[in-house]
């Protein structure tokens, strides 16, 4: 009998299931809203809520505990500095699950899992930053490619001016 056993196996071994929950929780904390299957979302809720509850007490021991779950200093800082302050007066219920239909390929039930009082601009912010960096790099490369041509043109113009001066000076000498 299955008394007192919570959670699903999700058709994975224990280590794979734990890493799946860790990766989903990282994505949820960074983007504050993700879409996944309903059983995964239901298993993810207590995992993330425990992390956010620990994140409300800002001391070294709790930071180490959250780091052991997430393994990324940037995300741990967000948990303590942003989310911990946001949910300071809330006694739980940091995550909301919304059903969003069925997946096309295998008709698996999908769900959107999001943080309550989430920042709308947080979703996809890494992708936006990455695209901005790529655009700046492209502009820098284009400007580097354009500048040498301009320099060569300036060098050619300078050479022609020098030759013209020489020709004028030789003509002046010949006339005298």
Number of domains in the chain: 2
CATH number reported for the structural domain that contains residue 19 in this entry? 3.90.1030.10
Strands 33-37 and 109-115: antiparallel
pLDDT given for residue 153 in this prediction:
66
What integer pLDDT is reported at residue 30 of this predicted model? 92
Same domain, 54 and 112: yes
- Cα(80)–Cα(123) distance, integer angstroms: 19
Locus of tokens 């002046």: 172
> Are residues 20 and 89 both part of a single domain?
yes
Q: Which of 44-48, 148-152, 161-165 has the lowest mean pLDDT?
A: 148-152
Taking only the tens place, the pLDDT of each residue in 12-59 is 999 999 999 999 999 999 999 999 999 999 999 999 999 999 999 999
User: In this structure, are 129 and 111 located in the same domain?
Assistant: no
Share of the chain above pLDDT 90, in %: 61
Picking from 103, 120, 137, the residue at the C-terminal end of a domain is 120
Domain, as residue range, for 143: 124-176
- Do 107 and 173 sit in the same domain of this protein? no
Segment (H or E) for 149: helix 125-175
* Average pLDDT across the chain, whole number: 87
Task: Tell me: do 27 and 83 sit in the same domain.
Answer: yes
Residue 65 domain-assigned? yes
In a domain? residue 2: no
Sheet containing 95-102, strands listed edge to edge, beginning at the edge strand earlier in sequence: 33-37, 109-115, 95-102
């Amino acid at each position: 009998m299955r008394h007192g056993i919570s959670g699903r196996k999700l058709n994975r071994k224990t280590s794979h299931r734990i890493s799946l929950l860790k990766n989903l929780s990282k994505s949820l904390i960074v983007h504050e809203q993700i879409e996944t299957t309903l059983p995964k979302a239901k298993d993810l809720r207590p995992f993330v809520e425990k992390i956010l509850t620990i994140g409300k007490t800002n001391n070294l021991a709790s930071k180490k505990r959250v780091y052991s779950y997430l393994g990324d200093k940037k995300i741990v800082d967000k948990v303590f500095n942003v989310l911990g302050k946001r949910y300071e007066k809330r006694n739980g219920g940091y995550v909301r699950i919304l059903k969003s239909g069925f997946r096309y390929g295998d008709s698996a039930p999908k769900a959107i899992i999001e943080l309550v009082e989430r920042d709308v601009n947080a979703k996809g912010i890494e992708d936006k930053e990455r695209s901005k960096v790529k655009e700046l790099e492209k502009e820098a490369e284009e400007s580097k490619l354009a500048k040498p041509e301009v320099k060569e043109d300036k060098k050619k113009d300078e050479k022609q001016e020098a030759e013209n001066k020489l020709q004028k000076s030789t003509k002046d000498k010949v006339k005298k």
